[in-house]
Amino acid sequence: MAKHIVLFSGSFNPMHIGHLCLANYVAELHPDVDEVWLMVTPANPFKSHTHLLDEDFRVRWASHQIGKHPKLKVSTIELSLPRPSYTFHTLKHLREQYPDYKFTLLMGMDSLETLPRWYEGERLIKDENILIYPRLGHDVPRSLSPLPKNITVIDAPIFDISATEIRSLLLQGHHLPYFLNMEITHPLYIELIDQLKHQPL
Protein backbone atom coordinates (compact mmCIF):
# COMPACT_ATOMS: atom_id res chain seq x y z
CA MET A 1 0.00 0.00 0.00
CA ALA A 2 1.38 3.42 -1.01
CA LYS A 3 2.50 5.67 1.81
CA HIS A 4 1.55 9.32 2.13
CA ILE A 5 4.68 11.26 3.10
CA VAL A 6 4.69 14.90 4.18
CA LEU A 7 8.00 16.64 3.45
CA PHE A 8 9.02 19.28 5.99
CA SER A 9 12.23 20.89 4.74
CA GLY A 10 14.38 23.25 6.75
CA SER A 11 17.87 24.13 7.81
CA PHE A 12 16.87 23.17 11.39
CA ASN A 13 19.62 25.43 12.64
CA PRO A 14 19.04 24.10 15.23
CA MET A 15 15.77 22.16 15.40
CA HIS A 16 13.61 23.46 18.26
CA ILE A 17 10.24 22.74 19.87
CA GLY A 18 8.39 24.75 17.24
CA HIS A 19 9.62 22.40 14.50
CA LEU A 20 8.95 19.34 16.63
CA CYS A 21 5.43 20.31 17.66
CA LEU A 22 4.46 21.17 14.09
CA ALA A 23 5.78 17.87 12.73
CA ASN A 24 4.08 16.00 15.57
CA TYR A 25 0.79 17.82 14.90
CA VAL A 26 0.78 17.03 11.18
CA ALA A 27 1.84 13.41 11.70
CA GLU A 28 -0.86 12.69 14.25
CA LEU A 29 -3.76 15.01 13.46
CA HIS A 30 -3.74 15.59 9.71
CA PRO A 31 -5.78 12.94 7.86
CA ASP A 32 -4.11 10.10 5.99
CA VAL A 33 -0.49 11.00 6.79
CA ASP A 34 1.76 7.98 7.22
CA GLU A 35 5.01 9.80 7.96
CA VAL A 36 6.52 13.27 8.18
CA TRP A 37 10.06 13.44 6.83
CA LEU A 38 12.13 16.26 8.29
CA MET A 39 14.39 17.16 5.38
CA VAL A 40 17.64 18.71 6.60
CA THR A 41 18.69 21.13 3.88
CA PRO A 42 21.91 22.80 2.77
CA ALA A 43 22.04 26.57 2.32
CA ASN A 44 18.71 28.15 1.40
CA PRO A 45 19.13 30.14 -1.86
CA PHE A 46 16.91 32.87 -0.34
CA LYS A 47 18.83 33.21 2.93
CA SER A 48 22.33 33.99 4.14
CA HIS A 49 24.15 30.77 4.96
CA THR A 50 27.11 32.15 6.92
CA HIS A 51 25.39 31.16 10.18
CA LEU A 52 24.74 27.50 9.33
CA LEU A 53 25.82 24.88 11.82
CA ASP A 54 27.63 21.84 10.41
CA GLU A 55 25.41 19.56 8.33
CA ASP A 56 26.47 16.47 10.25
CA PHE A 57 25.66 18.17 13.54
CA ARG A 58 22.23 19.34 12.37
CA VAL A 59 21.40 15.79 11.29
CA ARG A 60 22.57 14.28 14.58
CA TRP A 61 20.69 16.93 16.55
CA ALA A 62 17.47 16.38 14.59
CA SER A 63 17.72 12.59 14.88
CA HIS A 64 18.09 12.86 18.64
CA GLN A 65 15.17 15.28 18.83
CA ILE A 66 12.59 13.08 17.14
CA GLY A 67 13.62 10.03 19.15
CA LYS A 68 11.66 6.92 18.26
CA HIS A 69 8.41 8.53 17.12
CA PRO A 70 7.08 6.03 14.56
CA LYS A 71 5.80 8.70 12.15
CA LEU A 72 8.75 11.10 12.19
CA LYS A 73 11.89 10.51 10.13
CA VAL A 74 14.99 12.61 9.50
CA SER A 75 16.05 12.65 5.85
CA THR A 76 19.44 13.65 4.43
CA ILE A 77 18.37 13.32 0.80
CA GLU A 78 18.67 17.05 0.10
CA LEU A 79 22.22 17.06 1.45
CA SER A 80 23.22 14.38 -1.06
CA LEU A 81 21.78 16.06 -4.17
CA PRO A 82 23.61 18.55 -6.43
CA ARG A 83 23.60 22.12 -5.19
CA PRO A 84 22.02 24.57 -5.01
CA SER A 85 19.18 22.58 -3.48
CA TYR A 86 15.82 23.01 -5.17
CA THR A 87 12.54 21.49 -4.00
CA PHE A 88 11.59 20.71 -7.60
CA HIS A 89 14.68 18.50 -8.00
CA THR A 90 14.15 16.88 -4.61
CA LEU A 91 10.63 15.82 -5.53
CA LYS A 92 11.82 14.46 -8.88
CA HIS A 93 14.49 12.40 -7.11
CA LEU A 94 12.08 11.11 -4.47
CA ARG A 95 9.54 10.01 -7.07
CA GLU A 96 12.23 8.10 -8.89
CA GLN A 97 13.23 6.38 -5.64
CA TYR A 98 9.70 5.83 -4.32
CA PRO A 99 7.36 5.69 -7.34
CA ASP A 100 4.41 4.42 -5.29
CA TYR A 101 4.58 7.08 -2.57
CA LYS A 102 2.42 10.18 -2.41
CA PHE A 103 4.37 13.30 -1.40
CA THR A 104 2.96 16.49 0.10
CA LEU A 105 4.98 19.60 0.89
CA LEU A 106 4.71 21.35 4.26
CA MET A 107 5.77 24.98 4.47
CA GLY A 108 5.04 28.17 6.37
CA MET A 109 2.90 31.03 5.13
CA ASP A 110 6.09 33.09 4.78
CA SER A 111 7.46 30.52 2.34
CA LEU A 112 4.21 30.55 0.36
CA GLU A 113 4.76 34.27 -0.20
CA THR A 114 8.10 33.58 -1.91
CA LEU A 115 7.07 30.34 -3.64
CA PRO A 116 6.41 31.97 -7.05
CA ARG A 117 10.11 33.00 -7.09
CA TRP A 118 11.42 29.50 -6.32
CA TYR A 119 13.02 27.40 -9.04
CA GLU A 120 10.02 26.07 -11.02
CA GLY A 121 7.83 27.69 -8.40
CA GLU A 122 4.83 28.06 -10.70
CA ARG A 123 4.94 24.33 -11.45
CA LEU A 124 5.07 23.54 -7.74
CA ILE A 125 2.04 25.77 -7.18
CA LYS A 126 0.17 24.13 -10.05
CA ASP A 127 1.12 20.47 -9.58
CA GLU A 128 2.01 19.75 -5.94
CA ASN A 129 -0.10 19.15 -2.87
CA ILE A 130 1.03 21.70 -0.29
CA LEU A 131 0.11 22.17 3.36
CA ILE A 132 0.62 25.69 4.72
CA TYR A 133 1.04 26.35 8.42
CA PRO A 134 0.27 29.83 9.81
CA ARG A 135 2.99 32.34 10.66
CA LEU A 136 2.41 35.54 12.62
CA GLY A 137 2.33 38.58 10.36
CA HIS A 138 1.90 36.59 7.15
CA ASP A 139 -1.21 36.04 5.04
CA VAL A 140 -2.08 34.38 1.76
CA PRO A 141 -0.54 36.60 -0.94
CA ARG A 142 -2.98 38.34 -3.24
CA SER A 143 -1.38 36.70 -6.26
CA LEU A 144 -2.44 33.27 -4.94
CA SER A 145 -5.87 34.20 -3.57
CA PRO A 146 -8.08 32.28 -3.70
CA LEU A 147 -5.77 29.33 -3.17
CA PRO A 148 -5.97 26.45 -5.64
CA LYS A 149 -7.46 23.24 -4.29
CA ASN A 150 -4.06 21.55 -4.02
CA ILE A 151 -2.86 24.12 -1.45
CA THR A 152 -4.38 23.92 2.04
CA VAL A 153 -3.87 26.16 5.06
CA ILE A 154 -3.90 23.94 8.15
CA ASP A 155 -5.09 24.93 11.61
CA ALA A 156 -1.78 24.16 13.26
CA PRO A 157 -0.70 25.86 16.49
CA ILE A 158 1.58 28.86 16.04
CA PHE A 159 4.97 28.78 17.73
CA ASP A 160 6.58 32.18 17.30
CA ILE A 161 10.10 30.86 17.93
CA SER A 162 13.10 31.84 15.84
CA ALA A 163 16.22 29.70 15.53
CA THR A 164 18.14 32.92 14.87
CA GLU A 165 16.93 34.39 18.16
CA ILE A 166 17.71 31.15 19.98
CA ARG A 167 21.28 31.18 18.67
CA SER A 168 21.68 34.81 19.72
CA LEU A 169 20.37 34.17 23.24
CA LEU A 170 22.60 31.12 23.66
CA LEU A 171 25.64 33.18 22.70
CA GLN A 172 24.63 35.72 25.35
CA GLY A 173 24.92 32.96 27.93
CA HIS A 174 21.22 32.15 28.38
CA HIS A 175 20.16 28.54 28.92
CA LEU A 176 17.23 27.43 26.73
CA PRO A 177 16.79 23.68 27.33
CA TYR A 178 13.00 23.80 26.97
CA PHE A 179 13.13 25.76 23.72
CA LEU A 180 15.50 23.12 22.39
CA ASN A 181 14.10 20.00 24.04
CA MET A 182 17.60 19.22 25.26
CA GLU A 183 19.24 19.07 28.69
CA ILE A 184 22.06 21.58 29.07
CA THR A 185 24.36 18.78 30.22
CA HIS A 186 23.73 16.68 27.10
CA PRO A 187 26.81 16.34 24.85
CA LEU A 188 24.86 17.66 21.85
CA TYR A 189 23.84 20.80 23.76
CA ILE A 190 27.45 21.38 24.76
CA GLU A 191 28.56 20.82 21.15
CA LEU A 192 25.93 23.30 19.96
CA ILE A 193 27.28 26.02 22.23
CA ASP A 194 30.83 25.27 21.09
CA GLN A 195 29.87 25.48 17.42
CA LEU A 196 27.98 28.73 17.94
CA LYS A 197 31.03 30.34 19.51
CA HIS A 198 32.88 29.69 16.26
CA GLN A 199 30.04 30.69 13.91
CA PRO A 200 28.88 34.20 12.99
CA LEU A 201 25.19 34.87 13.57
Mean pLDDT, rounded, of the chain: 94
| Beta pairing class for 129-133 and 102-108 | parallel
Q: In terms of CATH, what superfamily is 3-160?
A: HUPs (3.40.50.620)
- The pLDDT value given to residue 121: 97
**Higher-scoring residue by pLDDT: 138, 187:** 187
Q: What share of the chain is helix, strand, coil (3-state, %, to 5)?
A: 40, 15, 45
Residue 77 falls in which region: left (phi positive, over 0), alpha (psi -120 to 50) or beta? alpha
Residue 47 pLDDT class (50, 70, 90 cuts): low
DSSP one-letter code for 157: P
Angle between helices 55-66 and 187-197 (to 10 degrees): 150
Residue 26 pLDDT class (50, 70, 90 cuts): very high
- The pLDDT value given to residue 137: 85
Cα–Cα distance, 193 to 159 (Å, whole number): 23
Cis-peptide into 14, omega within 30 deg? yes
Q: Is the pTM of this model over 0.85?
A: yes
- For residues 110 and 132, is the Cβ–Cβ distance under 8 A? no
Q: Could you give the C-alpha distances from 80 to 27, 75, 93, in angstroms and in order?
A: 25, 10, 11
Task: For the chain, give every domain's residue range.
Answer: 3-160
Q: For the segment 97-143, what is each residue's pLDDT rounded down to a tens digit? A: 999 999 999 999 999 999 999 999 999 999 999 999 999 888 888 88
Residue 192, SS3 per DSSP: helix
